[in-house]
Amino acid sequence: MTAATTLTTDRLTLRQPQASDLRAYTSYCASPRTKFVGGPFAAPKAFDKFAAMTGHWTLRGFGRYIMERDGTPIGHVGPMQLDDTQPPEFTWTLWDGTYEGRGLATEAACRVRDHLLGDLGWPEMIVHILPGNTGSVAIAKRIGAVLTKDPAPEWYDGAHVYRLTAGVPA
């Protein structure tokens, strides 16, 4: 079963990436907000990463959604799966700090979690979070992810691994 291309919450539209999102994503990539994902990144790398996010939908039938509020793209949330022998990784980020502290990332993550684990019946997803990323740790806990003792993947050295499974109440 393929993931829905658009989901909604009370305050957000969650949709597939569009070319018009690239400018906001590039600004995010150039900012210190990317410190937990290996950034900041120059515009060519931001373009490459955005193209991968967009193409993931074609390659896997699911991907990260753009969080849109009042017509403005403010972040992304959803699964990516670099290795199809492993569970998908669940990710989220707000591109601009002015949107933090309002529960928007948690709201988006809950909606996507419910769609994937509930509607589509996925058994699990994993979440990788670097130590010190307290905002993401708080969201992971709010959506029901549980810290494991699993080792971090080699491409994300030092990350803590959380597991999010179907049927776990948030």
Residue tagged 């950034």 (tokens): 39
- pLDDT at residue 61, as a whole number: 94
pLDDT beyond 90 at 37: no
pLDDT at 7: 98
pTM for this predicted structure: 0.94
Report residue 1's pLDDT band, with 50, 70 and 90 as the boundaries.
low
CATH number (1.20.120.140, 3.40.630.30, 3.40.640.10, 2.30.42.10) of 6-165 reads 3.40.630.30
Q: Break the chain into its structural domains and give their ranges.
A: 6-165
Tokens of 25: 């994503």
Q: What pLDDT does 2 receive?
A: 82
pLDDT of residue 118: 95
Q: Are 89 and 81 in contact (CB under 8 A)?
A: yes
Query: Taking a C-beta distance cutoff of 8 angstroms, is the pair 81, 60 a contact?
Result: yes
pLDDT tens-digit series, residues 138-160: 999 999 999 999 999 988 889 99
CA dist 117 and 93 (Å) reads: 20
Rounded-to-integer distance, Cα 109 and Cα 114, Å: 8
Tell me which H or E stretch contains 15.
strand 13-15
